[in-house]
Chain A
Amino acid sequence: MNWTWFHQLGSPKSFYALTSQWLPWLVTVMVISMTAALVWALLYIPPDYQQGYTTRILVIHVAVAGTSLAFFPLMAVAGTITLVWRIKLADMVARNAATLGAWFSFVTLATGSLWGSVMWGTWWEWTDARLVSMLFQFFLLLAVIALRSAMDDNDKAAKACALLSIVGCINVVIIKYSVEWWNVLHQPNSPVGMSNSGANGPEFWLPTLLMVVAVYLFLTVSLILSTRNEILHRERKAQWVRELLAAS
């Protein structure tokens, strides 16, 4: 098998050139979908027959929470590339993903708490496996960030973080299935699309799906932008970066 394309994409210079072409498109689609999803969710979504207008939190909470589960798998793939192929770009992506993932987990916990305080009658329950496993993900992401900044040697830090990211994927499975494996206060995963009973119709899942798309695009754009910054910083002595900076 020919692996040249793989190593080419992994070169910071070609990644920078490629993303320069992608970014305008990605940002445009992101802004449009995010605006549409927010307006839909905050102004036009119908109330739930029992929970009223907390459906507005639902759209944001579900989209952010679902997306937050993507960070450990993403970091694990990047980490595996770092460990096996020693491609530096993969580590730059993993590093920025950890920070972003911590924010996503935090927003998940915050919106969930707000919702819980209104509906369940409690902000937080230490005995709920879904809540605690999500908090664990937040702390694990902080641990990845701390581990990196605690080590002076860049390569060693990258390897250690890669291993921790791979291990962290186990927790993602636990978060996902916590509501099925154990008795918890948190609701089970709502089915995607309308159920036979007529619940979860398009008036709820369509804005949620749109928000999921918008949030994933936000993740992609943020990750690309922060990785480009890091490329410029790490490669600041390279010829192509100097030329780029001189030109701008």
Chain B
Amino acid sequence: MKPHRQKRLGIILFITAGLAIAAGLTLFALRQNINMFFTPTQVVRGEVTSGVNFRIGGMVKEGSLMQAGDSLQVQFVTTDFVNEVPVSYTGILPDLFREGQGIVAEGQIDISGIFQASRVLAKHDENYMSPEVKAALDAAGASSENYSMALESES
């Protein structure tokens, strides 16, 4: 390679490396702000100031869902399998919402420690299975990571 080309290539590499490091440091410094939600553990530890709108993310605890008979009000417990936060919500839930499924809720913690959600979104994981495979796995007692984690939380 001719010297002037080598020099140009050197400059490009230098600029790219510098920008990549700058971007990396910026994102590292902002990491908590980039996170979409707090985990129940963070909430229990008091990392969220009360009276502020925020998002909480976790699994809906198996057997915790309670639906009011005469309204759209629901109550459930969200968990990260270490700590739990009860959530109350009035409205239509996404189709994917079910016990043992991930959710992200937006709202505030009230004085009694219940998260009053104004929105509930359903999160899904990266594991796809046909109903037949799922049924076969369940019958065999083996199961996906998600499912066994949900079982662990029950016992």
Q: Could you tell me the dominant secondary structure of chain A's interface residues?
A: loop
List the A side residues contacting B129 at CB < 8 Å: 48-49, 198-201
Which of the residues A1, A47, A170 comes within 8 Å of B19, measured between beta carbons?
Answer: A170
Which of the residues B12, B121, B128, B145 comes within 8 Å of A83, measured between beta carbons?
Answer: B12
List the A side residues contacting B126 at CB < 8 Å: 187-191, 200
Q: How far is the CB of A117 from chain B (nearest CB, A)?
A: 9
Q: Is the CB of B39 within 8 A of A51?
A: no
List the B side residues contacting A119 at CB < 8 Å: 94-96, 122, 124
Q: Give a binary string over B1-34; 1 marks a CB under 8 Å from any A CB, 0 the rest.
A: 1000100110010011001100100010001001
List the A side residues contacting B145 at CB < 8 Å: 197
The interface size of chain A toward B, counting residues with CB under 8 Å, comes to 47
Q: Is the CB of A183 within 8 A of B57?
A: yes
User: In the complex, which of the residues B9, B119, B130 has the most CB atoms of chain A within 10 Å of its own CB atom?
Assistant: B130
Which residues of A39-90 have CB atoms within 8 Å of chain B's CB atoms?
46-51, 55, 58, 80, 83-85
Interface flag for B46 (CB, 8 Å): no
Segment at the B interface, from A24-32, A120-128, A223-231: A120-128
The interface size of chain B toward A, counting residues with CB under 8 Å, comes to 47
Within the assembled complex, what's the spacing in Å between the Cα atoms of A6 and B71?
A: 71
User: In the complex, which of the residues A49, A51, A166, A182 has the most CB atoms of chain B within 10 Å of its own CB atom?
Assistant: A49
Q: Give a binary string over A181-209; 1 marks a CB under 8 Å from any B CB, 0 the rest.
A: 11111011111000101111101100000
Which of the residues B12, B120, B134 comes within 8 Å of A121, measured between beta carbons?
Answer: B120
Q: How far is the CB of B67 from chain A (nearest CB, A)?
A: 17
Interface flag for A129 (CB, 8 Å): yes
Q: Is the CB of B5 within 8 A of A84?
A: yes
Within the assembled complex, what's the spacing in Å between the Cα atoms of A128 and B36?
A: 6
List the B side residues contacting A48 at CB < 8 Å: 128-130
Q: How far is the CB of B39 from chain A (nearest CB, A)?
A: 7
Which of the residues A55, A85, A122, A183 comes within 8 Å of B37, measured between beta carbons?
Answer: A183
Interface flag for B137 (CB, 8 Å): yes
Q: How far is the CB of B79 from chain A (nearest CB, A)?
A: 15
Q: How far is the CB of A164 from chain B (nearest CB, A)?
A: 11
Q: How far is the CB of A189 from chain B (nearest CB, A)?
A: 7
Q: Which residues of A contact B (CB under 8 A)?
A: 1, 3, 46-51, 55, 58, 80, 83-85, 118-122, 125, 127-129, 163, 166-167, 169-170, 174, 181-185, 187-191, 195, 197-201, 203-204
Q: Which 9 A-B pairs have the closest CB atoms?
A: A121-B94, A199-B127, A46-B130, A49-B134, A190-B126, A183-B35, A197-B144, A127-B36, A49-B131
A-B contacts, 27 listed (Cβ < 8 Å): A3-B1, A46-B132, A49-B129, A49-B131, A50-B101, A51-B96, A58-B128, A84-B5, A119-B122, A120-B94, A120-B124, A121-B120, A129-B34, A163-B15, A167-B16, A174-B27, A181-B31, A187-B125, A188-B125, A189-B126, A195-B127, A197-B137, A197-B145, A198-B137, A198-B144, A199-B128, A199-B144
